[in-house]
């Protein structure tokens, strides 16, 4: 494999990313309707405990609890003025755990929730400014790399990558998109188009996260590999949901258990995927099964 900035940073660590956060925090008491990022300031012990569980399970890259940390997302709860502080606090919590385990922190960035022009009103420079504020806080809190995930619009992904390159030019960038049953994002982007566009924009690793489950992610992985071809200077990433939630009694439960997720991780590695983790519905036990399968 051709080295890039991320493989150099990993320095031989298994390329295993952690799993879900939002749904687990709700299971652990996050009040309905309250943004998870608020717990970075008001219940940091709960965030640190979950990071610690993922690290102990075998994750070598911890994801900060900052997925919804841009101003527009925080504004939905009246927290936009706290964007910098909540993101920095999220990175600092992950940093403490990562230092105890000699692993890495990925500063996590999700969509702003706004549509980019011409479909919406958000201009490219506005998006870059929003992402830059978040990335600056994540870097100040100790992030080792920037993770841009669950995107559906290439324009928004490019804006986030541009912000990362401007604010933290020395840090590797991982960029993933979320594909549906038609192997398209909500905006119609294919895995092939994502590989080409995100690599050209400057991402060190590209791929897919979220979705409907392992079976679909294997199909996506095949397209990612075909798009990359023989040029392995860009790494490929896959983080599947643990299936889809189904009603069981008075609660929702996801359908893919840890052993099945471990078997899925082996399939992804055999398909050529470089960085493997999990997404919604997954837990430290899913990551433990992935680590066991891959190690």
Q: Give backbone dihedrals phi and psi of 260, rounded to 5 degrees, phi first.
A: -65, -35
Taking residues 186-211, what's their average pLDDT?
Answer: 96
- Which residue would you say has higher pLDDT here, 33 or 164? 164
Closest C-alpha among 63, 84, 88, 83 to residue 73: 83
Q: What are the pLDDT digits (tens) for 81-133?
A: 999 999 999 999 999 999 999 999 999 999 999 999 999 999 999 999 999 99
Query: What is the value of pTM for the model shown?
Result: 0.95
Quote the pLDDT of residue 82: 98
Q: Does the annotation list 210 as a binding residue?
A: yes
Tokens linked to 168 = 């933290």
Q: Does the annotation list 279 as a binding residue?
A: yes
The structural domains of the chain, with segments of one domain joined by +, span 5-294
Q: What are the pLDDT digits (tens) for 166-175?
A: 999 999 999 9
Closest C-alpha among 80, 89, 83 to residue 40: 89
- Alpha-carbon distance of 171 to 158, in angstroms, equals 16
Q: Does the annotation list 280 as a binding residue?
A: yes
pLDDT surpasses 90 at 13: no
pLDDT surpasses 70 at 1: no
Quote the pLDDT of residue 23: 86
**Mean pLDDT over each residue of the chain, to the nearest integer:** 94
pLDDT surpasses 70 at 223: yes
Taking residues 145-151, what's their average pLDDT?
Answer: 98
What lies within 8 Å, CB to CB, of 262 at 6+ separation is: 289, 290, 292, 293
CATH number of 5-294: 3.20.20.330
Q: What are the pLDDT digits (tens) for 203-222?
A: 999 999 999 899 999 999 99
Q: Give backbone dihedrals phi and psi of 276, rounded to 5 degrees, phi first.
A: -130, 135
Does an H or E element contain 40, and which? helix 39-42
Q: What are the pLDDT digits (tens) for 241-288?
A: 998 877 666 667 788 999 999 999 999 999 999 999 999 999 999 999
Quote the pLDDT of residue 3: 62
Quote the pLDDT of residue 198: 98
DSSP-assigned letter for residue 64: P
Could you tell me which residues are beta bridge partners of residue 247? 252
What lies within 8 Å, CB to CB, of 267 at 6+ separation is: 214, 218
Quote the pLDDT of residue 54: 98
- Alpha-carbon distance of 54 to 51, in angstroms, equals 5
Instruction: Give me the count of residues in the chain.
Output: 295
């Amino acid at each position: 494999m051709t080295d890039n900035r991320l493989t150099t940073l990993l320095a031989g660590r298994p390329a295993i990313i952690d799993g879900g956060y939002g749904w687990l925090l709700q299971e652990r008491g996050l009040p309905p309707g309250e943004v998870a990022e608020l717990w970075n300031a008001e219940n940091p012990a709960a965030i640190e405990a979950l990071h610690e569980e993922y690290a102990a399970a075998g994750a070598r890259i911890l994801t900060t609890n900052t997925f919804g940390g841009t101003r527009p997302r925080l504004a939905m709860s009246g927290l936009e003025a706290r964007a910098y502080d909540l993101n920095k606090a999220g990175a600092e919590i992950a940093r403490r755990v990562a230092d105890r385990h000699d692993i890495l922190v990925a500063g996590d960035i999700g969509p702003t929730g706004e549509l980019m022009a011409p479909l919406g009103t958000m201009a490219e420079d506005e998006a870059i400014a929003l992402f830059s504020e978040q990335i600056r806080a994540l870097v100040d809190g100790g992030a080792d790399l920037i993770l841009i995930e669950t995107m559906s619009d290439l324009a928004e992904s490019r804006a986030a990558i541009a912000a990362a390159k401007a604010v933290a030019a020395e840090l590797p960038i991982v960029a993933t998109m979320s594909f549906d049953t038609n192997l398209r994002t909500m905006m119609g982007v294919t895995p092939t188009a994502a590989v080409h566009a995100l690599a050209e924009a400057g991402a060190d690793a590209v791929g897919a996260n979220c979705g409907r489950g392992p079976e679909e992610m294997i199909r996506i992985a095949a397209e990612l590999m075909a798009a990359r071809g023989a040029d392995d200077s860009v790494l490929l990433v896959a983080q599947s949901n643990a299936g889809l939630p189904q009603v069981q009694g008075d609660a929702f439960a996801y359908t893919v258990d840890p052993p099945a997720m471990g078997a899925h991780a082996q399939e992804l590695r055999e398909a050529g995927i470089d960085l493997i983790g999990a997404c919604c519905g997954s837990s430290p036990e899913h990551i433990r099964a992935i680590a066991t399968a891959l190690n």
